[in-house]
Chain A
Amino acid sequence: MIVADQKPLNELKSLTRGGENVLVVGCGTCVTVCFAGGAREAAITASSLRMAFKLDGNSRQVSDVTVQRQCEWEYLDQIAEQVKEADVVLSLGCGVGVQAIAEHFPETWVVPGLNTSFMGMPTEQGVWAERCAACGDCILGLTGGICPIARCSKSLLNGPCGGSEGGHCEVNPETPCAWQLIYDRLTGMGKLDVLMEIQPPKNWRAARDGGPRKIVREDLRLAKEEE
């Protein structure tokens, strides 16, 4: 899932300044699961803003609504009327959701309520950890299902480095060394020979280094109307 974190209330007040009618838009997918921007968080944020505005002595209107997914047009269509009435939309979606609202409603001023952090998973209740860097050229099949791009601080392809100590990373001692995890897992499964295979250079053009990325599936596209 995409994992995000809420911005402080003072920043939200600053981002929404100038708007008399604020609409907080939650998202029912990733940010709901990580307790950052779902229906509950949207309601709490709207309520918090209302109280903060009243304490500041102004009477700005704040309402909230949550869509199933902010990153798809058809779900955004459902809130078109509410968005139209708002002076500013405070999106509690990830960065994709914020941009989807901005693109779908070009006349609307939209600001982010979250800091989108990473793609990851909950490792225990209340703890989320990064697991994928979306590099576009997955090598998990070579590393025992543990990603050195996302989980090694240096994204090394030939680790561990000299900074691996006692199974932990020199960059942050709380971070397990990804290459130690890979080595231990492959050893345990009797597949250490996988690491002996010579690999060609990784294709970094599929990562962010090649600029903004796009996937086109011609088989899924709607047929163009005959002219």
Chain B
Amino acid sequence: MEHVRNILQQIGLEPERVEMVNLSSAMAGEFVAAATQMTERIKTMGKNPLRSDLLGDRHTESER
């Protein structure tokens, strides 16, 4: 995860856009907390500036 964050930083994206959380199936509360935290973080940072371009690369017109 540290390696991926380092790559994102070098590219010019916020490394905090990626996070890995280890949870068991019995940790519903922790899952909700982690998901909520990540959602708030992404909302604060804004959309991925590459998002539209990446979608253009990966999907054909019919798939959109």
> Which chain A residues have a beta carbon within 8 Å of chain B's beta carbons?
8-10, 44, 48, 51-52, 54-56
Beta-carbon contact of B7 and A52 below 8 Å:
no
20 A-B pairs within 8 Å (CB atoms) are namely A8-B10, A9-B7, A9-B11, A10-B10, A44-B7, A48-B7, A48-B10, A51-B11, A51-B12, A51-B50, A52-B10, A52-B11, A52-B12, A54-B50, A54-B53, A55-B12, A55-B13, A55-B49, A55-B50, A56-B12
Give Cα distance in the complex from A169 to B18, angstroms: 41
Q: Which residues of B contact A (CB under 8 A)?
A: 7, 10-13, 49-50, 53
A51 to B58, CA, bound (A): 14
- For the complex with contacts A48-B11, A54-B53, A55-B50, 15 further pairs of A-B residues with Cβ separation under 8 Å are A8-B10, A9-B10, A9-B11, A10-B10, A44-B7, A48-B7, A48-B10, A51-B11, A51-B12, A51-B50, A52-B10, A52-B11, A54-B50, A55-B13, A56-B12
Shortest CB distance A37–B (Å): 15
Name which of B7, B11, B49, B50 has the most chain A CB atoms within 10 A of its CB.
B11
Find chain A residues with CB under 8 A from B49 CB.
55
Q: Give every chain B residue within 8 A of A56 (Cβ-Cβ).
A: 12
A56 and B10 alpha carbons, distance in the complex (Å) = 12
What is the bound-complex CA distance between A48 and B53, given in angstroms?
A: 14
A52–B11 Cα gap in the complex (Å)? 5
A-chain residues with CB within 8 Å of residue B13 when the two chains form the complex:
51, 55
